Amino acid sequence: MMQYRSAMSIFVSIAAYCDPVLPFTLRRAVEQASHPEALHLVVVNQRPAGSPPLDESGLAPSRLTVLDIDATQARGPCWARALAMTLYEGEDWFFQIDSHMDFDPGWDTRLIHAAHGIARHQRRCVISSYPNAFEFEGGHPVSRAVTGKVLAHVLKPGCRFADDHPVLSFEAHPVEIDAALRGYHLGAGCLFAPGAFVQQFPYDPYLYFHGEEQALAARLYTHGWDIFHIPALPVYHLYRAVGADASARPLHWDAAHDQVRKNRWWALEARSRARLQALVTRSQDLGVYGLGSERTMAQYAAFCGIDYELRTIAPRAFHGPWGNAQRPPAPHNNLAATRPPAAPEPPSSPLTEPATANPEAPPQ
C-alpha cells in the first residue's frame, strides 16, 4: 500500500496548441489547489513563431517548466504528450490534462484521496473520464455539468468497426452512484495516475489523435492496470462549440494551420490508424509501446465487449460496466453525454455521420 502524505507532488502534463485558454488553465490549477507548492506544471507550448511567450507570472509557489515549439513543427497531441513525459522528475503522481480546463477547489487532494481509496483494492489504477463541460460567461468560468456523480465511458450508439481501421468513438454517460466505477475506456485529456505510470507506459509519439485512448486502454489492461471513473470529478473541460470561430482556439488539423506544414494531418492520422491496428492485433513488435502479458486481449474482449481480433462489438460495450439497477437511460440528446470527437475521414470524403456535441475533431 502506498503511503499517504498530505502534500504529495504532482506532475501536471499539458500539451497546448496555439491555445489562448492556457494561461487561465495554469492559473486556475494553482489557485484551486490545496497544495500548489506540490505542483510541477509542464507545458509543451506549440505556438506560432514570433508570438509572445507564455506569461509565467502568478503561478508561484508551483513550479513551471515550458518547452516551446514552433506550431508549424507540431505533429499532433500524442507527440506533444510524449515530449511532456520526458520532463518527468519522479513526482508522486502524474496528471495529464488538456490546455483548456477548470478546477474545483482542492482538486489535487480530492484526486489523491480518490486514488488512495481505489488503491486499497487495486494499486495499479488510473482515474480518467471525459470531464463535465464548462463555459465562460462574462469572462468567468461556469460549470455545465450533466452530473455530480460518475461519468462512465461507452461506445457511441451505432458505432462499428470500419473495414480498414480499428478506430472507434466513445462518449461518457452519467451514472448516478457515489462510488468509483471500473471502466472500459479512458479520456487522454484527463488522466490521473501514480508516478510509476510514466515509466511503465511511455506515451507513443507515433499516434496522432484518434485511437490514442483505445491504445492506452488496451496497454493498461494487458499490463494488469485498471481504469476507474470517480464521482464528482473535480475538473472541467472547455469544449469548442459547434460553429465556433476556429481562430479563437485553433486545432492542429484546422485547414489554415495544416496547409503551412510539411507533415499534413491526414498523413499523421493514417499512420496512427495503422499503428493502432498493429498494437491490438500484435502484428508488429512495438517494444515499450506494446501490449503486456498479464492479461490477454481475449480477456479484454470478454471484459468490455470490444473484440479487436474478431472485429465484433457486444451490447455491453454500449451499455457500460454497471448493473441493470444502475444503468442510466440512454442520452436523449447531445447535452446528456459528453462526447469526444468522431473519427475523421480523408479530406476528400463526404460526410458520413452528423456532428457530435464535441467538434474538436479533424474535418470529415
Going residue by residue through the chain (364 aa), what tens digit of pLDDT does each one get? Answer: 444 455 699 999 999 999 999 999 999 999 999 999 999 999 999 999 999 999 999 999 999 999 999 999 999 999 999 999 999 999 999 999 999 999 999 999 999 999 999 988 888 999 999 999 999 999 999 999 999 999 999 999 999 999 999 999 999 999 999 999 999 999 999 999 999 999 999 999 999 998 999 999 999 999 999 999 999 999 999 987 655 555 578 889 888 898 888 889 999 999 999 999 999 999 999 999 999 999 999 999 999 999 999 999 999 999 886 644 344 444 323 333 444 455 445 443 322 222 233 435 443 3
Phi, psi values for residue 246, rounded to 5°: -65, -30
Collect all residues with Cβ–Cβ distance below 8 Å to 319 and sequence separation of at least 6.
Answer: 154, 327
Q: Residue with C-alpha cell 509572445?
A: 52
Query: Which strand (E) or helix (H) includes residue 32?
Result: helix 22-32
Closest CA to 167 of 209, 123, 111, 119: 209
Cα distance between residue 161 and residue 209, in whole Å:
17
Q: Residue with C-alpha cell 488539423?
A: 253
The answer to whether 214 and 276 are in contact (CB under 8 A) is: yes
The answer to whether 255 and 363 are in contact (CB under 8 A) is: yes
pTM above 0.85, yes or no: yes
Closest CA to 17 of 257, 236, 268: 257
Supply the pLDDT for residue 339: 46
